Structure 1
Amino acid sequence: MNLNASIVDQRLQGILSEHAELLTPIVSNNPEKQRSLAFVLLCASTALELEMEEAAELLTEGGNDAGVDALHLGEVDDGEFTVTLFQGKYKHKDLNGTAHFPENGVKNALNMLATLFDPGKKVALNPRLEPRIEEVRSLIRDGYIPSVRLLLCNNGTRWNGQAQDWIEQSGLSGDQVQWIHYNHDNIVAVLQRRKAVDDRLQLHGKAVIEEFNYRRVLIGKVSVREIAELFNRHGDLLLERNIRRYLGMHANRVNSAIHDTLLDPHKRQNFYFYNNGITMICRKFAHNALQGDNYQLRLENIQIINGGQTCKTIEQTFNSHGELDSQAADTYVLIRLYELADDDRDFVREITYATNSQNPVDLRDLRSNDDYQRQLETALAGFGYTYKRQREEGSSGSQVIASSVAAEAVLAIWRRKPHQAKFMRREHFGKLYYDIFATVNAAQTLLAVQIFRLVENARKRSPGNVEHPFLPYSAHYAAMLIGARLLQESGLRLDEVTHTRYQALQTQLHTHGTTYLADAIKRIDNALTALYGERDISLQQLSATFRRGDLLEVLEENIQS
């Protein structure tokens, strides 16, 4: 029995006990199917760093799933967007961890890729998957380019050579499609990622070392081969604090440029000048100060907080081009190393924000200690709620509010920007942060979250609604309309919603929420008719309509009336 496979199997038992309500609506009470789906849920949760409840939203398994067990759609960034697909194959009675990912699973994945990403091809899909695929196709029709990460997940080994030949011959690989094997070892590595990484690093040439503000700083250069070997030993454990952690897992233009430079014999000698370098932190570093140069550093608790995609691309390029071991011996990259105490976490966040904020991916943790977040935490505690300022704090439940959910709800409902709430999540703690949080109080936040939960729960209960096919895309708009209705019927302005009026508003929402929701759906339906008339609207067109905010002007008139 493989130890990591056994650990994962035990974790699945915990998921079945603690989160059965997430699985039963999809696969009923079939124990074997529930365990298989729990495995997909665990893979999605660990690979994408999501709470179980968030990961469950990605599940698409069932009849007519086209071989897609879970799907995550990223946001548009510079004309591109990322789609992460999961296909799971779980061996229930074999925990040796030696079985290959099955060939038929690879065949299904190839067929799926050739079909799902062609907007013109008709395919029968289940109600959970169809709206998401049509959303992807809508983006493709609008000219955005998909970057696909396909995670083939099992509790065994990678697919065999025959399956790899099929992948290479298909043409469905390379920069636009990345095939990733994800198994029990990867899952356990993520679950255990908080263990410290200690190692050695060989510098080349001179280095600057000095103490500054009671902290030690080193600036030098290191061979790219040394970086590749470091990542082969420790992998993504080195990136725990890097807010672009998963950018390295898929192709983008920056990564492609790094890859191409490393392979070009004329350009790679100047790699040091082309690249912005790598920023590392550690608890302690030591070197032989009697040497004049070429120090070998002994490092404790290493973390890379900037340059993660550079490191991942170096690792992947070296692993796929063995000849670089000898050819890139004189290729270097700049390294900045900061020795920081374990209790210097706030300073670490500030550094990480300063060095990554030009392209924010998830700045939630980096904003977690500012005044707005701390004040909301304190005020919401007075209402009996726990406010999660950071991703990894505490547990979930009806009395727990994640800052990411609060941001989404407030932006959609009180700021009346539902399209930005859904499609610009990466900016909620970036460019949109002050618009969301600067003036909101705890009572407004709590009401927004409760409205949002009301709408989301209704959406989850009615997948594939034939009468209203727009429901998978309209939740944020419906929430906005409910918030406006609540204020209208109470005769209040938003700035008058405070702790003194919260209880009355909460009671009003609880009493009339279902009626408000039905009215919101009717208003959205009428707005769509005003835009498109009585003709049928495809799911791709519906997705684009809600994404672009075409309905906002019509709905704003309804709100004012």
Structure 2
Amino acid sequence: MDISVSIIDQRLASVANNIRQEAAEELRIRDENKLKSLAFVYLCVQTILDLESDDAFDCLTEGGGDFGVDAMHISEEYDGEFTVSLFQAKYKNNLEGNSNFPEEGIESLINAIQYLFNPAAKLEYINQRLLAKVEEARSLIRDGYIPQVRALACNNGLKWNASAEEAIQRTGFGDQVTWEHVNHERLVKILQASRPVTDTLQLSGKAIIEDMEFSRVLVGRISVTEIATLIDRHGERLLERNIRRYLGLQGNRVNEGIRHTLTSDEKNNFYFYNNGVTLTCDSFSYNALQDGDYQVRVENLQIINGGQTCMTISKTLREPDLLHQNAQAYVLLRLYQLPRENEGLVQRITYATNSQNPVDLKDLRANDERQQRLEMDIQQLGFNYRRKRSDTNTRPVDITSGVAAEAVLSVWRRKPHQAKFF
């Protein structure tokens, strides 16, 4: 059984419960199997288009007279065009994930595209939800807007076969229609990804900026108050590429030292005591015509080293008056603009630069794809898999990576005598 197929299958149970009432009232779907299929369509629409719950449900057109279109979304008009996303979903309870998207499903989508976007074509036996959306699209066409169509074939298996591909090529739709396959692997990959952080960093004083082999480096100084504000805005979204969540103050010597400096008369020497923070981004820009105090616009910002420093600063400066008192406390900032496609380089920099707090092998593996999938899969079973170390106390539903490793070593590997030393 494919683990991604299993993750999606378990998620559908939750989705089905969330839309059960609306499905019964608006679509008259009460059968559990049909509800599960509808939940899959809903999940695909919401995930691919990044829609809110109500907007995603509004796209659903599944039912009799749907032309093989299970969901339809129309974008805003832009530059004389608008985009229509047509979804057709085929969900199998067989979780092997080895079935192709059916050829007849592709043919249904082809037929739908030929008729739905031709204002002269008469539509009979079409359900009201789909009809309303088709009329909206046709109205735009009559007004001179050109539809760009995304045909999304969704299943929990493989792409359509060669015969279906030939049928697509015979249509002559050209570039006006794009065909996409959406399956369990694509959904899991999107669900695992976090929304990028885009923001502006206010630096202090001079900075050094240099281009280095398709990358850029900025080294400068940033106030601890700016760090605190940044963390308050985005929280642990900034630490997705970091190998640890916040480890807290109590019992952590380094973090306690950071707090002590910020609350003592030595706060203005913080810049010299701390190793600084390292951040990565997809791109950064600034006004190169000024001498310093740059405002740096960054896209897809991540803290890969110094996460403990940043979180401790944020938590410490929440105390009354400390934010104002630390106005002259600064941190060394290293900002790397790295090629988007070189994820391996980011990982290597992360591993190489994390040395302020001791890092063990569990920390280094915390962001592996397998660990992320375990986290999602175990969550569907009602438990919380803690793949990253944290300062929060464990609850009865929490399973730490260490406990999981001990169980695997004891039961599956049959080495309980070694597990007790894990």
Structure number with the bigger relative contact order (C-alpha 8 A, sep ≥ 6) is 2
Question: Relative to total residues, which structure has the larger helix share, 1 or 2?
Answer: 1
Q: Which has the larger radius of gyration?
A: 2
Question: Relative to total residues, which structure has the larger strand share, 1 or 2?
Answer: 2
